[in-house]
Structure 1
């Protein structure tokens, strides 16, 4: 692991190891990184670069379509696939607008993909399948790091890709803006923590993601070409009794005129436990989380607070 201080996000080189979950040193590096800031970059992670870049191209074709076309695919209440329009999701309650768009799906079986962009589904699903595989390997590594049986987390995430699990693949699009369009209380993505176990994120080279460190300083999660960024979600923080923090993060409106006029994109896989599995601290401590919760209950509470339909 590269040297790290409190102002930096650790970088772990997997050296192309498919079975990194079986490497004790790598597991220890992952544990140290997630304990320090809740974010980690993986380089040489084994996901082919062409599978990462292709959905950036095809999803932009979708987001470039007129709104009248995109709204045919709008994500409906209690559904986990479809188009999310600007400000349909407000992650920071004090914001009046959050200027981003998204398209979500649960698995390769989704029938919500737009017919107007026929290659969108193939490229997005190809990356989703790679992320699904990587997530299962990371789940094994985390189980070992936390002193559990290697399959502990895999066994309570076994329904990923079905409607009995809230894991979602999301393509994110931040449109270009003009300064005269920006109202007070507008952000690209409000301050928040993610809801589930952990999140896999591929950024473009535009940047803008900021992470809140333990000493309450916002630092930029600068894009590393080809790297996979992973962050802890709320439910893993509960599982680890706060040892792995679900760190707040945001995407602000850029001040630089060039970045303001440039689109920003990312690909995200939100990994959640199976809907009805009870989440409680692995160490048995009841002082921080007296009542167990489930992925279904926790995620629905968060969605109810952030979505407008």
Structure 2
């Protein structure tokens, strides 16, 4: 049985058209809509974003082709000490909020914008374990996998930078306020392949367990209309619709902290399909992460106010590293 059906509520996850972003008036209007969404649910969908449909289609096609390979082929680029790549199990995401569950029902391939840097440069990205210190390991099949992913990483980095400038306007800050803490960003993609569920899940087991995201913002592309993504408001899980050519955007813990709780980092999850539905699903989240040493203190008009929670760390990198290690605590090989 599907654990709980989400209710689609009009306006809870609004669709925001970014087509007018090239004018000051257009950016102000878009920023106002974003600010309202971030204060309400922390989730919205963007269209008119400028990312070519051809690129997202190619990204989905080459990634699906990789996940369709035999296990022996995928294991050639397995995530292991020193490198970031394929994971047969996607960890247990709910562990990051202290909830004990079985492993999530997905396979994952991950890569970082820093993963193709020389080893000595990656080693300078924090004096603690961090996934962005790992080297990307690219499969040779499909042949266009690496160049497509690298092109997509660049497109998402550019789009995320635009969104952060709109975030600044929405918060009454100078448009380029956040640029300085993203000039060496350590962002990543961790594509989830939700394979067909031929066997019944264990009790409490989901495609992705409930969690908040840890960074500044996430840009998510979904390759089908099957759905499964749900957002928690109060005690009700609400379904996030799939919009053709749209990206789901949500803010993470860092934005909630930087705004002293004015903007919310909302709990979400990916539920299982109904029993008997053996379709698969691909989701492509891009996690826009700031410089590893970015401070956690509230910003702008929120400076000096109490954060929404005590993170127990002093930099963005330390916070994200701790959450990552909680997620994969049962498999120390995942920590590189």
Q: TM-score, normalising length from structure 2?
A: 0.81
3-state SS of paired residue (1:219): strand
User: Mapping of 1:235-274 within 5 angstroms?
Assistant: 235-258=254-277, 261-274=278-291
- 2:94 is the counterpart of 1:92: yes
**Which of 109, 112, 118 pairs up with 1:106?**
112
- 2:162 is the counterpart of 1:137: yes
**Which of 305, 310, 314 pairs up with 1:285?**
305
Residue number in structure 2 paired with 1:171? 191
Q: Distance in 2 between matches of 1:173 and 1:187?
A: 13
- 2:233 is the counterpart of 1:217: no
Residue number in structure 2 paired with 1:38? 42
Query: For each residue in 1:131-162, what CA deviation from the matched residue of structure 2 results, as whole angstroms up to 9, or x when unmatched?
Result: 111111111111122122222212101112xx
CA contact (8 A) 2:85 2:136 kept: no
Shift of 1:7: 6.9
CA contact (8 A) 1:281 1:289 kept: no
Residue number in structure 1 paired with 2:213? 194
Residue number in structure 1 paired with 2:144? 119
More moved, 286-295 vs 136-145: 286-295
5+ long unaligned stretches in structure 1 = none
5+ long unaligned stretches in structure 2 = 1-7, 117-134
Q: Which runs of 4+ in 1 moved over 4 A?
A: 4-7, 18-22, 289-292
Q: How many residues align?
A: 295
Query: For each residue in 1:71-106, what CA deviation from the matched residue of structure 2 results, as whole angstroms up to 9, or x when unmatched?
Result: 222223575x311222x4111232212111111111
3-state SS of paired residue (1:159): coil
Query: For each residue in 1:163-216, what CA deviation from the matched residue of structure 2 results, as whole angstroms up to 9, or x when unmatched?
Result: xx2x102222110111x3433332110000111001000112221111112x22
**Which of 300, 323, 326 pairs up with 1:302?**
323
**Which of 74, 78, 85 pairs up with 1:74?**
78
- 2:32 is the counterpart of 1:13: no
CA contact (8 A) 1:22 1:141 kept: no
CA contact (8 A) 1:21 1:138 kept: no
